[in-house]
């Protein structure tokens, strides 16, 4: 394409032969970066029975998909996946590699970066090109945003959580090529998956929820947290949290929103007993209405929301629950 820049790569992820949405989102952003660099977008997809998923990556903006198909690749295996990606990267020398900040990506990305002897920025919330066309990787830090660049080493690598970038509208008319990867038979494989037991998620999933109630350290104790949980259930909302609530053992890691948690895009966000630290607030993308309940009138959270309620959440939330339930009962009887 007449450029010194090599391709922008996305390491795509599939579960049960279904492409994960973060991979499509990263492909869309890779397309934006590649267009500015005057280069192509290439994706690496490993699994089995995944031909159709390669077409989805092309429709999302990929020009080429390196497709690795084998029964032993159907389920993510760190040794197998990392060896294949490393060998491909050494052969094709991509300019940039983007990986989803998922369970797989958080393990795979440092394995690949370490072997390629390059840098890696985790949990990015934005990716842009600076004036020298070097990838500027932005992460929340010190109450603001910190930009990280890798001026010398290649590839430039970053992980990004689901929801940071929009999912591109598929263009099924796009032309692209799928290249089959030869899977060596002597790849390392000390781990073998014998059985997968899936636990059904409780409540409303955070990633798709239109309403989210998120609690923080202001809950005070387990009883205070149970009130926040009940408020979420009463509103048929998803339950989210900050790091302190997880560290206290009141909730599971899967509920954490923010830099090292999940990215969410609700219609309505209600923050209860949390201070509004950047590490949490950065995980809320494009909420239409944001509400906060905190007894500290000077809390930074009130500078970031549409509606602020200054009150002790341990007293206010039980009252709010009673009012909501009374309204719901009245609505049913009418």
The pLDDT of residue 322: 93
Full-model pTM: 0.78
Q: What is 206-333's CATH number, 3.30.110.70, 3.40.50.300, 3.40.50.2300, 3.40.50.1220?
A: 3.40.50.1220
pLDDT at 1: 40
Say which residue, 279 or 19, is predicted with more confidence: 19
Q: Crossing angle for the helix pair 51-60 and 21-37, nearest 10 degrees?
A: 50
Contact 106, 122 (CB under 8 A): yes
pLDDT of 278 > 90? The answer is no
pLDDT of residue 14 exceeding 90, the answer is yes
Give the C-alpha separation, 275 to 150, whole Å: 33
The two domains 8-180 and 206-333 share their CATH topology (first three levels equal): yes
Q: What is the pLDDT of residues 61-113, one digit of tens each?
A: 999 999 999 888 888 988 889 999 999 999 999 999 999 988 899 999 999 99
**Distance between alpha carbon 127 and the CA centroid of its chain, in Å?**
14
Smallest CA-to-CA distance from 123 within 158, 175, 90 is with: 158
Distance separating alpha carbons of residues 273 and 292, to the nearest angstrom: 8
**CA distances, 173 to each of 28, 59, 60, 95 (Å):** 16, 7, 11, 26
Mean pLDDT value of segment 117-128: 89
Longest distance between any two alpha carbons in the chain, whole Å: 70
Averaged pLDDT for residues 10-14: 95
Among all chains, which residue has been given the structure tokens 């560290």? 247
Mean pLDDT along residues 287-311: 92
Angle, vertex CA 324, rays to CA 318 and CA 325, nearest 5: 90
Residue with the bigger pLDDT between 200 and 227: it is 227
Fold of domain 8-180 = Rossmann fold (3.40.50)
Average pLDDT, the chain: 88
What pLDDT digit, counting tens, does each position of 177-210 carry?
Answer: 999 998 877 766 677 777 778 776 666 788 788 9
- The whole-number pLDDT of residue 143 equals 57
In the prediction, which pLDDT does 103 show? 85
- Considering only CA atoms, which of 68, 252, 62, 275 is closest in space to residue 174? 62
Q: Scan for tokens 């950047």, then name that residue.
A: 278
- Range of lowest pLDDT (39-53, 106-120, 198-212, 245-259): 198-212
Tell me the percentage of the chain whose pLDDT exceeds 70: 94
| Tokens encoding 186 | 């002597």
**Residue 329: predicted pLDDT:** 80
Look at 4 and 37; give whichever has higher pLDDT: 37
More confident residue, 192 or 14: 14
Q: Residue 98: name the closest of 195, 38, 197, 10 by CA.
A: 10
Domain boundaries, the chain: 8-180, 206-333
pLDDT in tens, 130-182: 888 989 888 876 556 778 888 888 999 999 888 788 889 999 899 899 999 98
Beta pairing, strands 8-11 & 96-100: parallel
């Amino acid at each position: 394409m007449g450029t010194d820049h090599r391709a922008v790569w996305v390491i795509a992820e599939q579960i049960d032969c279904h492409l994960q949405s973060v991979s499509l989102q990263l492909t869309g952003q890779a397309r934006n970066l590649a267009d500015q660099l005057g280069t192509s977008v290439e994706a690496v997809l490993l699994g089995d029975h995944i031909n159709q998923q390669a077409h989805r990556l092309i429709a999302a903006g990929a020009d080429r998909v390196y497709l690795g198909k084998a029964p032993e690749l159907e389920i993510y295996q760190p040794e197998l996946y990392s060896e294949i990606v490393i060998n491909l990267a050494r052969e094709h020398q991509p300019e940039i590699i983007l990986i989803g900040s998922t369970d797989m990506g958080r393990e795979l990305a440092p394995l690949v970066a370490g072997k390629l002897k390059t840098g890696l920025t985790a949990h990015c919330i934005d990716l842009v090109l600076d004036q020298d066309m070097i990838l500027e990787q932005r992460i929340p830090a010190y109450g603001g945003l910190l930009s990280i660049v890798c001026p010398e080493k290649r590839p430039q690598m970053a992980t990004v959580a689901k929801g940071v970038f929009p999912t591109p509208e598929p263009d099924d008319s796009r032309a692209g090529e799928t290249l089959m990867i030869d899977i060596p038979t002597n790849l390392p494989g000390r781990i073998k998956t014998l059985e997968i037991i899936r636990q059904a998620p409780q409540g409303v999933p955070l990633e798709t929820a239109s309403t989210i109630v998120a609690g923080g350290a202001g809950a005070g104790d387990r009883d205070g947290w149970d009130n926040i949980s009940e408020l979420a259930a009463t509103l048929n909302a998803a339950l989210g949290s900050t790091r302190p609530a997880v560290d206290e053992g009141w909730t599971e890691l899967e509920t954490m929103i923010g830099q090292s948690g999940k990215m969410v895009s609700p219609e309505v966000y209600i923050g209860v007993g949390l201070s509004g630290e950047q590490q949490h607030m950065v995980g809320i993308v494009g909420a239409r209405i944001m509400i906060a309940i905190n007894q500290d009138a000077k809390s930074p959270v009130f500078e970031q929301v549409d509606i602020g309620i200054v009150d002790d959440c341990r007293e206010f939330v039980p009252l709010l629950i009673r009012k909501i339930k009374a309204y719901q009962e009245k609505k049913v009887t009418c």
